[in-house]
Each structure stands twice: as structure tokens, then as C-alpha cells.
Amino acid sequence: MVSLIERFKQQFGKDITEFETFKKATRNKKPQTVQNYRYNLTEFCLFVTENPDQIITNREQHLNSSDKREYYEEKALDFKHYLETTKKYAGRGVNGYLNRVRGFFSNNGSRYSLDFGSKALTYDQKRRVRKYSPSRSDCQAIYQKCPTVRDKLLFCLAFQNGLAPTDIANLDYKILPQEPFKFYESSRQKTGSMWFSAVTPEIVENLQEYLKIRGSPKHGDALFTGREGELDAIRISKRLKELIKLAGFGDIEGFKPTALRDAFVDCLIDAEIDSKFRESFMGHTSDIEHHYGSHKRLEANIENAMRKAYPKLSLSDKTVTYSTSKEQFDEIKQRLEESEKRHKETEQKTNAVLFKVLQTMKEIGADVDEIAKEIEKDGTTT
């Protein structure tokens, strides 16, 4: 099956990103936003059978014509109907497409902006397919079916850290610690808000194994690659879908890659993680930094929260509880050893004192007996 990108190239001779009007519309945009424009506008261009440059050129001409002034407003409404009826997209998905289309026109010049007037663009916000939140056992089954260490790492980041495909695609491997339950932070591609998290034992193990095969990426290179090159958000989402299907869950409606974020939240709730930490793990707006004071204290609290949640997130067949880190365990062990040493020293000192007391008492007893004998002897003489 030919992809939309390939169909566009076949019809218009080059990728949509090579057209000047597309470059202008996406100038200074985040990489993920550019990707969204690329896929959404590709479909719109195929729908109207015009490339981006042709659309803007025609828009200029239509604005000076009374009978075609609202031509692209009508096309946008037709496109909305096509997405809802033919593609079966829900309101939120349709809204995303139409926002890119409107942005394309306005970013090329305010005079090109689409004006719907009384023809308000309304969207049905209800979901066409009910969301499915996978259980931990579902996630364990998928993990066991992952054919490569790369796939296992992808899945762990999505489920155990709740990362969306776009966040995984733009993840710098250097920020990922090489020790379980260690803190790391980054910003979400979609919102720009910070997320605070900690790596799990599975993430560390698979990352180390994957880097042995992949090699350390150069600066600016994507961590995840495939036969077609770097894996962007679309390809990562597609691969996660394939892994879900491979494990036998492909027929479950609503079981999408983003459902793994929902599963992550469910596990945090089951582990009774505080809402402030849940917001931080998910990359939602939170004032947790101000709430917990120093950054060092924040790191410690995030790490402890992940340790507490891990029994609910573990992808191992065995139930393992990591209540303390190695450093904490060593510290506790040292304290116990010191306490035991102090106890022995105290016991030895106490025994020495008791021995002296007993010796003194014996000596006193002997003196008393001697005095008693002398008193008795004196009395008999008298």
C-alpha cells in the first residue's frame, strides 16, 4: 500500500516540505509541529489535487474574484466532511487537521487566512471509539513478544515512563541514567512543559544492550533507527501498534500507543503516588519544584516515588519490590553494623562493671563474716 507521502511525490514530483509556501508556513516551528503540518497538509493537498504553491497562488487570484472568494473555505468544509465520514476521524482528530490547514493559509500571509464567517467550524467532541486502558498483565504480554531489544526499550519508555511517541522520537539518550531509579528530566515536544521521571531496571538493561548494537548516537542524531532511517513520531507510533498487534491485542478497539500513557497513570494511582508526582511524571503543568524546595530534594522524591510505583510497573514475571536504592541499603547496613558494634561494646562494659560489683560484694561479704566471728568471739569471752 502506497503511503500518503509517496502518493504526493508521485503526483507533484517532490515532497511537500520542498515547496516554498510550506517552508514559509512552518518557519521557526518545532520539529514535531513541522511533521504534523507535513502529514496533515499532504492529505489536504491530495484532496484538492493542488500542491501548496498552487493553493496560495490560486488563493491570491480568488480573493480578487467575487464568485470564487470563498472557494477554499468551501474546500475546507468538504475536507472536514471527508475526514468525518470517509476517514472516520473523531472531532479531536478533525480539529487537528483543520487547524493545520488554517495555519498554512494564515502563516503565508494574513490576507490569505480562511474566513468562515457564519459557517462556524463545529466538531463532535465525543469519541468514536471508546478508549482502552491496558492492564499490567497486558503490557507484560506485549513486552514478552517484543522481538528486539530496540522494541523492548521503545515499549518500556512508553509504558514505564509514560512517554508519547513524539517525546520518544526526540529523546536524547544522554539524559537517560545508566542506573535504575535515577532521576532525569526533559520537556514535552507537544506542550514544552517539563517532565520529571526516573528510569526503571528494564529501561536501563535494554538501553545498555541497545547501545551495544546501535552504538552511541552522534549529537543531533535520533536514538531510534530502522531500515528506513531515523524513527520519527509517526514511525514510532506505527511500531508500537505493530507490537500491540503482535501480542494479540490488535482487535481491541481503542488500544492505541497513547493508551500506554493511560496504563502508566493507572499504575501510579494503584501505587498511591501523590497527585503532584503523577503530574510531574506525565509532563503536565505542575508547581512541584516550588512545593518541594531544592532540586536535590525533588530528585530524591521523584526517585522514591518511582521505586514505590515499580511493583505495579514491573514487566518481569517475578514480583520484585525495590523499596530502597543500593546507596540507601548500604547506608542502612552500615548503621546496623555500627549499632551492633556499639551494643557489643556496651555489653562488654556492663559485664565488666557487674564483675567488679560482684567482686566487691564478695569482698564485703567476707569482711562481714570476719567481723561477725570476732563479735561472737568477744561475747563468749566476756
> Which residues constitute the domain of residue 60?
4-112
Q: How far apart are CA 275 and CA 20, in angstroms?
A: 46
For the chain, how many structural domains are there in total? 3
Residue 66 lies in a domain: yes
Per the rule left: phi > 0, alpha: psi between -120 and 50, beta: everything else, 176 is beta
Per-residue pLDDT reduced to its tens digit, 227-273: 878 888 888 999 999 999 999 998 888 898 989 999 999 999 999 98
Residues 28, 69 within the same domain: yes
**Nearest one of 227, 237, 80 to 157, comparing CA atoms:** 237
Residues 275, 153 within the same domain: yes
Residues 169, 82 within the same domain: no
Residues 146, 239 within the same domain: yes
Report CA-CA distances (Å) from 100 to 22, 36, 182, 210. 11, 8, 39, 36
Residues 17, 60 within the same domain: yes
Q: How far apart are CA 232 and CA 25, in angstroms?
A: 21
Nearest 5°: phi and psi at 255?
A: -90, 85
Residues 260, 369 within the same domain: no
What is the chain's pLDDT, residue by residue, as a tens digit (382 residues)? 678 899 999 999 999 999 999 999 999 888 878 988 999 999 999 999 999 999 999 999 998 887 788 899 999 999 998 998 898 887 778 888 999 999 999 999 988 998 876 555 665 555 556 678 899 999 999 999 999 999 999 999 999 999 999 889 888 888 899 999 999 988 776 666 788 899 999 999 999 999 999 888 887 778 888 887 888 888 899 999 999 999 999 888 889 898 999 999 999 999 998 888 888 888 875 555 555 556 778 888 889 999 999 999 999 765 444 444 555 545 655 665 676 677 678 778 888 888 888 788 777 877 767 776 777 666 655 5
Residue that terminates a domain, selected from 313, 330, 358: 313
Report CA-CA distances (Å) from 151 to 147, 195, 203, 244, 250. 7, 23, 11, 11, 17
User: Cβ(96)–Cβ(40) under 8 Å?
Assistant: yes
Residues 215, 305 within the same domain: yes
Q: How far apart are CA 74 and CA 321, in angstroms?
A: 60
User: Cβ(27)–Cβ(59) under 8 Å?
Assistant: no
Residue 320 lies in a domain: no
Does the CA dihedral 58-63-65-71 come out positive or negative?
positive
Q: In the numeric block, which cell numbers belong to residue 379?
A: 561475747
**Nearest one of 60, 57, 15 to 38, comparing CA atoms:** 15
Residues 55, 88 within the same domain: yes
H helix runs in 64-200, sequence order:
71-85, 91-107, 136-145, 149-160, 165-169
Q: How far apart are CA 292 and CA 298, in angstroms?
A: 6
Q: How far apart are CA 372 and CA 379, in angstroms?
A: 11
Residues 18, 149 within the same domain: no
H helix runs in the chain, sequence order:
4-12, 20-25, 31-48, 52-63, 71-85, 91-107, 136-145, 149-160, 165-169, 201-214, 233-246, 259-270, 275-282, 288-291, 295-313, 326-381
Contacts of 182 (CB under 8 A, 6+ apart): 198, 199, 303
Per-residue pLDDT reduced to its tens digit, 274-306: 888 888 888 875 555 555 556 778 888 889 999
